[in-house]
């Protein structure tokens, strides 16, 4: 059609111009990619709710009356997780970690450990997350199993185990559409990059892309993940720098106290000598 127009001297339509120029996007393509990027950008930010929800207060009161109530521990942990208060969630659920076997149903045991593992990952307590994941048994529900393998991918990679990470990732995306697979890939970006598994998994996802549009989407997600991970590095560096500043300040204060104590001791000793000479 385009060649026929050119022969007749007609000007190509806007759609045909976009199709002929590689690297350019139609309005529909732009909208789809922008929606995916916006969704991914939103996932970069934590959104903990302030205060304590009514649901959390209810279970907290139950736990105050019976500190060993595993169902109250479970309920409070889930309430904190729903509010994205990961530190609180982790602290309370660790109290029941070794008692998970007391929960009656497999579903409850799986959900308890999955919630604790998610909280541990959000706090970047990767070894703790690994200990939790290792205690989890595979669920019968396919969606739960896919979620577990997604979690395993991140946990294994952040603990430096590339082989287990790749195995879990392949299990996670097995039978998935391109769209679902690329979402899983993006969610695991930091972990995969840490163990040099990003390029390998990108080739795996690329094989699922059936159209040029999907290939372009993959490249866009790749660039956004690079940006997202760079932002995380900067945030982590700032946190570490702030921590070092506090530690340095504390150390200097300690040295100052020691110095004052030594000077005071010398002063008292000199005064004692003067008194003795008199």
Q: What is the per-residue pLDDT across 110-131, written as a single tens digit (0 to 9) for each? A: 999 999 999 999 999 999 999 9
Residue 224's pLDDT band (boundaries 50, 70, 90)?
confident
Torsion of CA 149, 161, 184, 193, to 10 degrees: 170
Query: b/e map of 190-218 (b: 16 or more CB within 10 Å)?
Result: bbbbbbebbeebbebbeebbeeeebebbb
How big is the CA angle at 49 (ends 68 and 69), to the nearest 5 degrees?
Answer: 10
pLDDT in tens, 81-115: 999 999 999 999 999 999 999 999 999 999 999 99
pLDDT score for 23: 43
How far is Cα 17 from Cα 24, in angstroms, rounded to an integer?
A: 9
* CA proximity to 211, closest of 6, 26, 87, 43: 26
Question: pLDDT at residue 18 above 60?
Answer: no
* CA proximity to 154, closest of 185, 123, 109, 176: 185
* CA proximity to 150, closest of 117, 125, 112: 117
> Which structural domains are found in the chain, ordered by start?
52-240 (1.25.40.10)
Residue 221's pLDDT band (boundaries 50, 70, 90)?
confident
Q: Average of pLDDT values for 173-177?
A: 94
How far is Cα 190 from Cα 157, in angstroms, rounded to an integer?
A: 9
Cut 0.95: pTM above it: no
pLDDT in tens, 38-83: 555 455 445 666 778 899 999 999 999 999 999 999 999 999 999 9
Sort 277 into a burial class: Cβ within 10 Å, 0-12 / 13-18 / 19+. exposed
Contact 221, 185 (CB under 8 A): yes
Contact 59, 83 (CB under 8 A): no
- 26 versus 136: the higher-pLDDT residue is 136
How far is Cα 127 from Cα 220, in angstroms, rounded to an integer?
A: 32
Sequence-distant (6+) residues with CB within 8 A of 182 are: 205, 217, 218, 221
How far is Cα 141 from Cα 244, in angstroms, rounded to an integer?
A: 46
Q: Average of pLDDT values for 16-35?
A: 50
């Amino acid at each position: 059609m385009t060649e026929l127009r050119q022969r007749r001297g007609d000007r190509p339509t806007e759609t045909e111009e976009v199709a002929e120029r590689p690297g350019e996007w139609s309005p529909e393509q732009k909208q789809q990619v922008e929606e995916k990027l916006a969704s991914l950008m939103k996932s970069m930010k934590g959104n903990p709710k302030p205060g304590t929800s009514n649901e959390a207060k209810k279970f907290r009161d139950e736990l105050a009356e019976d500190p060993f109530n595993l169902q109250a521990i479970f309920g409070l942990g889930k309430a904190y997780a729903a509010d994205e208060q990961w530190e609180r969630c982790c602290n309370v659920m660790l109290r029941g970690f070794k008692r998970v076997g007391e929960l009656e149903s497999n579903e409850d045991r799986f959900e308890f450990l999955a919630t604790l593992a998610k909280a541990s990952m959000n706090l970047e307590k990767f070894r703790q997350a690994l200990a939790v994941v290792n205690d989890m048994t595979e669920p019968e529900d396919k969606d739960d199993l896919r979620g577990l393998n997604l979690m395993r991918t991140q946990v294994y990679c952040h603990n430096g185990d590339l082989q287990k990470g790749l195995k879990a990732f392949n299990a996670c995306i097995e039978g998935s559409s391109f769209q679902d697979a690329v979402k899983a890939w993006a969610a695991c970006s930091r972990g995969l990059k840490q163990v040099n598994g990003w390029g390998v998994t990108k080739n795996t996802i690329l094989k699922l892309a059936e159209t040029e549009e999907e290939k372009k989407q993959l490249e866009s997600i790749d660039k956004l993940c690079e940006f997202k991970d760079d932002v995380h590095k900067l945030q982590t560096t700032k946190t570490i720098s702030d921590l070092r500043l506090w530690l340095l300040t504390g150390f200097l204060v300690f040295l100052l106290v020691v110095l004052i104590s030594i000077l005071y001791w010398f002063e008292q000793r000199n005064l004692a000598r003067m008194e003795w000479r008199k």
